[in-house]
Structure 1
Amino acid sequence: MKMLLTVEIPHEPFNSLVRGGKAGEIIGRILEAIKPEAVYFTEQDGMRCGVFLINVENPSDVPAFAEPFFLNFQANCKFRIVMSQEDLQKAGLEELGKKWA
């Protein structure tokens, strides 16, 4: 299933990794490992943030996506299930509306 992984990266240890020239290499290794479909970097609540569209086959896969960020950056990771327009069209909203109206 498609999930949106939002990673909030605190200033430390990231600032130290940037100063040491290691931040880019670590991010590159993580992206190679998690193979996101889309990657965006932004700011969120005053911290660095990465937003990744990932495909999670099994719940047991979640640690493989989160641990690299936890262990390298002491980051906070949030997972949200997402749907495409096609997924939403398959959801049967009309039938659900009739059932629950």
Structure 2
Amino acid sequence: MKMLVNVMFPVEPFNSMVRNGKAGELIGRILEEIKPESIYFTEQDGNRGAVMIAEVSDASAIPSIAEPWFLNFEAFCEFRIAMSPDDLMKANLSNLGKKWDETQ
């Protein structure tokens, strides 16, 4: 399944890694390993951040995505299921509405 992964980098150790020239190379190695469908670097709550879409085969794959960020950057990672419009249509919302609508 596709997961939206938010990564927030604290100021340290990221600043030190930028200063010593290691940040870019390390991010490249991590992305080569994870192979996200897409990733965008941005600001989150005043910190450096990234938002990525990654394919997660099952829950046991989550540590292989999160640990490189945790161990190298002391980053925070949030995982959310990402549904496409087709995925949402497969949920059959109209039947769920009929089943669970207590106002009828």
Kindly indicate whether residue 35 of structure 2 is the aligned counterpart of residue 14 of structure 1. Answer: no
| RMSD, aligned CA | 0.5
Task: Provide Cα deviations, 1:26-73, integer angstroms capped at 9, x if missing partner.
Answer: 000000000100111100111000111001001111100000000100
Runs of 4+ in 1 over 6 A off after TM superposition: none
Query: Whose Rg is larger?
Result: 2
Aligned residues: 101
* Equivalent position amino acid for 2:71 in 1: L
Task: Provide Cα deviations, 1:65-92, integer angstroms capped at 9, x if missing partner.
Answer: 0000001000000000010011011110
Percent identity for Structure 1 against Structure 2: 63
Normalization by structure 2: what TM-score? 0.96
Q: Measure the CA separation in 2 of the matches of 1:11 and 1:92.
A: 44
Structure 2: runs of 5+ lacking an equivalent: none
Normalization by structure 1: what TM-score? 0.98
Structure 1: runs of 5+ lacking an equivalent: none
